[in-house]
Amino acid sequence: MWQELGINLEAHDNLLHVLEGFYENIYLSQKNRPEGMEYFDKVVSCIHGARIQELFKAKKENRLVLGTFCVFVPEEIVWAANGICVGLCAGAEIGFELAEEVLPRNICPLIKAFFGFKLSKVCPFVEICDFVVGETTCDGKKKAYEIFNEYKETYVMHVPQKKDKSSFDLWKNEVINFKSEIESRTGNKISQDDLLKAIELINKRREALKRLNSLRKADPPPISGLDVLLINQISFYDDPERFTAKVNELCDELEERIKRKEGVCPPGTPRIIVSGCPMAIPNWKLHYLVETSGAIIVGEESCVGTRNIRNLVEPKGSNVEDLLEDIASRYLKIDCAIFTPNAERIENIKSMIDEFSAHGLINYSLKFCDPYTTEVYKVNKTIDKVPTLNIETDYSQEDIEQLRTRIEAFLEILK
Ligand code: BJ8
């Protein structure tokens, strides 16, 4: 299967070998994990196996498989046309030397990583996709997609940068165009019923993740931030129906744990919200550092976190076009830092601090990410309830000790 996908088998073996050690160290060494994590451990342990096989089979049955790098792509439309949408990995320093042959050195590591995975031919997910859907979010991605298209066909959606009426009209039009694109590629005409079913499928997944998040309000939290981060990362590529059922099963178990006051750390452990850039799989660096330094992460204000699940599509429309408008309005509520102004993000951070009784906020930015590094100023100016720590990093391991020292000093302040 991997050969058929054109995977570089030697590089791929090395990658899986490194990942395995990494996972054992970071995940399996955690104490008192919920039993329900077994499913998610299994998904990771065959990250390039079982799910790829499912996608492979789906392609043989003529189903469209497409890949994305941003939560702005309205996946409901893909599912409605009997296609499959997967979020692609961009969370590790893989193939950076090859990526730097086509990209500037000083570009965000997430962008470098999606090129690196493709150019080094180690990611079966990107290889199995019929095409990739990009978006005009930050400048780095926008320009990178032009080059990426030379290696993998890339369809780019125009995401506006403001949220006024004309921006909404532009975005709604993009959503309508996207639907036509998917229909013509799949040959399936999307009906109202198809759209309603797809909206329900993805809403249910978001609701399960919301339920999981809300259980972290307990003191002590019944699950670690590392585990919730992993579950969020898996949500991007697992089968949505199965994934939702597994998250709900886990939540049932966590509710029992809360009743027994059983947690993954002692009560009163410093509680942290992490806010900023997305952490694509297998980027576990910050969570690992924080949770092995005596604190617990209780929320991620991130696209791999609440930014992706906060809002559901509210299907009020009674025909396809109106439903597309409902989809468009849900997606335009996303409070990504590429928008100006972006006041709702700050309000969302504030309410997360209150809801999750956080003691501190960590602003997490990837190096060279202008939207998030610049927005840190406004976040810090407005958040006065809890101390904040600004972290700017990449996927390397070089700054680990330096970051640990800064995190430990921050936790001393919180204590
Ligand atoms: S909706 S956060 S997933 S754009 S980290 S590549 S912004 S330079 S990933 Fe994002 Fe969509 Fe927004 Fe979410 Fe650019 Fe920044 Fe890199 Fe980023």
- Position in ligand 1 atom list of the atom nearest CA 277: 5
The rounded Å distance from CA 219 to ligand 1 centre is 32
- DSSP letter for 215, please: G
On the question of pLDDT at 46 being above 90, the answer is no
- Position in ligand 1 atom list of the atom nearest CA 109: 16
User: Per the confidence metrics, is the pTM higher than 0.95?
Assistant: yes
Neighbours of 12 (CB within 10 A): 18
- Picking from 294, 264, 291, 263, the residue whose alpha carbon sits closest to that of residue 411 is 294
Determine contact, residues 230/44, Cβ cutoff 8 Å: yes
E strand or H helix at 250? helix 240-259
On the question of pLDDT at 415 being above 90, the answer is no
Tell me which of 110, 232, 286, 395 to substitute to probe ligand 1's pocket, judged by most ligand atoms within 8 Å of the beta carbon: 110
Pocket of ligand 1 (CB under 6 A): 70-72, 108, 110-111, 137-138, 140-141, 277-278, 303, 334, 336, 338, 366, 369, 371-372
CA–CA–CA angle 272, 395, 294 (5° rounding): 30
pLDDT in tens, 120-167: 999 999 999 999 999 999 999 999 999 999 999 999 999 999 999 999
Determine contact, residues 158/137, Cβ cutoff 8 Å: no
pLDDT band at 89 (very low <50, low <70, confident <90, very high): confident
What pLDDT, on a 0 to 100 scale, did the predictor assign at position 193?
97
pLDDT in tens, 208-261: 999 999 999 999 999 999 999 999 999 999 999 999 999 999 999 999 999 999
pLDDT band at 47 (very low <50, low <70, confident <90, very high): confident
- Position in ligand 1 atom list of the atom nearest CA 337: 12
